Chains A and B, each alone.
Chain A
Amino acid sequence: MAGPSVLDRLKKKFGDKIVGATLDSIDPWIEVQPDAIVDVCQFLKTDPDLKFEMLNCISGVDYFEPDPKKAAKATFQPHTEVVYHLSSVTKKHSLVLKVMLPRWKNDEPGVLPEVPSVAGVWRTADWHEREVYDLSGIRFVGHPDLRRILCPEDWEGHPLRKDYEMPLEYHGIRGR
């Protein structure tokens, strides 16, 4: 796991676009401003000392407690995270990047949050971002073909959002 040295280099190059980092957790992670994610990823991929040629995974994590009783005790503010797991085949190290987004764009319920797409950096991001869009409801701006990938095209809602409600009926099939 590449930790402090990568953080220093990123801070030197991108300054306040690197919002924060947690280096003492199990997998150390670096938080990046949403608008800088493509530049940061391009740098991480092409820099001769870092060479993160492989994007392993993109995950969307929704932080929201639908139950108002539990929400009062929740230790987090409602938000959505996009987590990028990168690794390098030549340098044999790995890195975790995070982008924090509001749950809804401009806090308007129903409008999906947006983050620039990294499909231009790694081709594998194409499908991963489609999956995150499909299941976690995050819009990737600049994605070549942002459609649902696992759920049917006419599916409503994004199942991995914590406030998702199971449809009662889908084309005549009972949901419960």
Chain B
Amino acid sequence: MPLTLEDPRVVEFDVRTDEMLVNMGPQHPSTHGVLRLVLRTDGEIVSEVEPHIGYLHRCAEKIGENLTPRQWIPYTDRMDYLAGMNMNLGWSLCVEKLLNYQLPEKARHLRVIISELGRIASHLVGMGAYGLDLGTFSPFLYAFREREKILDLFEEACGARLTYSYLTPGGATADLPRGWLQKLEAFLTQFEPVIQEYHALLTTNAIFIKRTAAIGVMSAETALDYGCTGPVLRGSGVDYDLRRDGEERYTEMYDGYAFEVIVEKNGHYPKDHNYPPVPREAILGDCWHRFYVRMLEVVQAIDLVRQGIERYSTASGNWGEPIKLTAKLPKGEAYLETEAPRGQMGFYIVSDGNSIPWRVRARSSSFCNLSVTHALCRGCLIADVPAIVGSLDVVMGEIDR
């Protein structure tokens, strides 16, 4: 029988496209490690995204039940491997909370310097890799050029370039080497003007704005509901930063430091005169804002490191002393969250009175940030999926632990 226009099969063939399941990853270049996304697509439109994680799972928590807290420090490095220093810090503070350990003044400032430098290094990768996600290669090289200098500094301080194990419960494993602070200051002086290059390459780039502004818009309610934290939460306009609002054991580290939480208030970011303006197309909570918050946090971190250097050189006490490797832990439990570059990194330790904890738990910020993907990607274009996932800046080592 010849087909006529009235035949329903013709209409179906003409208008409807079949839904297709597209597998993205785990080896896709723009999935930030080994993340697998299964997209349900209708033509170019994505109707559903399902992240599959666990490819990097090592059950670090189980390993933690067989090691003393100081022995577990290297495993925290391997969680968020782009911000190892900040992971060390979170775990150290959690153990110190259980031990009720009081840190010397100098160690506190050392930790501010180190963790804020870690934040800069991490955000540089976040920025460079985001450029890669969107198809521009050069910002990545610019970012790594500067990150390399931070890694050189870290290497001089602790001997490692990626997995530092530098900050430990009790302080740090060693003092900063002689002459290190001068090198750091020289780096900051050189680095600060370079940020304008990044703004020229990405923030104000017309293509970049087209790809990110008004894409993946997330309301503050959604962000809180999904437990998003860090730049992802602040990119949605929620004024919350653990460095100011966290637990006392963490905020006292920043006592006396002057800083503002990077968040948009009444259409303005703090100290916005130095930075490129927010483009007209951008909507609060979109990919562009999440990226911008990270960029401003880099500037903020430079300022905090400078303040840290000043205080460190005049502070009393020493850089702290690591607790004994097999120190007995008091019976009890402690939970503490810190503001890591990617959000609130929480550690939970349960002790039954031995030197080896009964249970350790890591609350990963990227884990929660990634869980919002399916809500953000519903109804977007396939090409926007890397833009959205990239703007969450997830690290799989931390998600899978």
Of residues 85 to 107 in A, which have CB atoms within 8 Å of B's CB atoms? 85, 89, 92, 94, 96
User: Contact between A150 and B346 (Cβ–Cβ < 8 Å)?
Assistant: no
Of residues 66 to 111 in B, which have CB atoms within 8 Å of A's CB atoms? 97-98, 100
Of residues 7 to 44 in A, which have CB atoms within 8 Å of B's CB atoms? 25-27
User: Contact between A61 and B334 (Cβ–Cβ < 8 Å)?
Assistant: no
User: Contact between A89 and B240 (Cβ–Cβ < 8 Å)?
Assistant: yes
User: Contact between B359 and A61 (Cβ–Cβ < 8 Å)?
Assistant: yes
Q: Is the interface of A mostly helix, strand, loop or mixed?
A: loop
User: Contact between A83 and B61 (Cβ–Cβ < 8 Å)?
Assistant: no
Residue on B with the closest CB to A62? B359
Q: Is B168 an interface residue (CB 8 A)?
A: no
User: Contact between A89 and B238 (Cβ–Cβ < 8 Å)?
Assistant: yes
User: Contact between B98 and A89 (Cβ–Cβ < 8 Å)?
Assistant: no
Which one, A25, A56, A123, contacts B225 given CB within 8 A? A123
Count of chain B residues near A, Cβ 8 A: 38
User: Contact between A159 and B224 (Cβ–Cβ < 8 Å)?
Assistant: no
Give the most central of B247, B346, B361, B400: most A CB within 10 Å: B361
Complexed CA–CA distance, A83 and B334 (Å): 12
User: Contact between A57 and B350 (Cβ–Cβ < 8 Å)?
Assistant: no
Shortest CB distance A163–B (Å): 13
User: Contact between B97 and A26 (Cβ–Cβ < 8 Å)?
Assistant: yes
Residue on A with the closest CB to B97? A26
Known: A127-B371, A150-B57. A56 touches B350 (CB 8 A): no
Interface set of B (CB-CB < 8 Å, partner A):
53-54, 57, 59, 61-62, 65, 97-98, 100, 224-227, 238, 240, 245, 247, 332-335, 337, 344, 346, 348, 350, 352, 358-359, 361, 363, 367-368, 371, 375, 400-401
Q: Identify 28 residue pairs between A and B in the complex whose beta-carbon atoms are under 8 Å apart, listed by A's number.
A: A26-B97, A26-B98, A27-B333, A27-B334, A56-B227, A56-B344, A56-B346, A59-B361, A62-B359, A75-B352, A83-B348, A85-B335, A89-B238, A89-B245, A94-B247, A123-B375, A124-B227, A124-B371, A127-B367, A127-B368, A128-B227, A135-B59, A149-B54, A150-B57, A150-B401, A151-B57, A159-B59, A160-B61
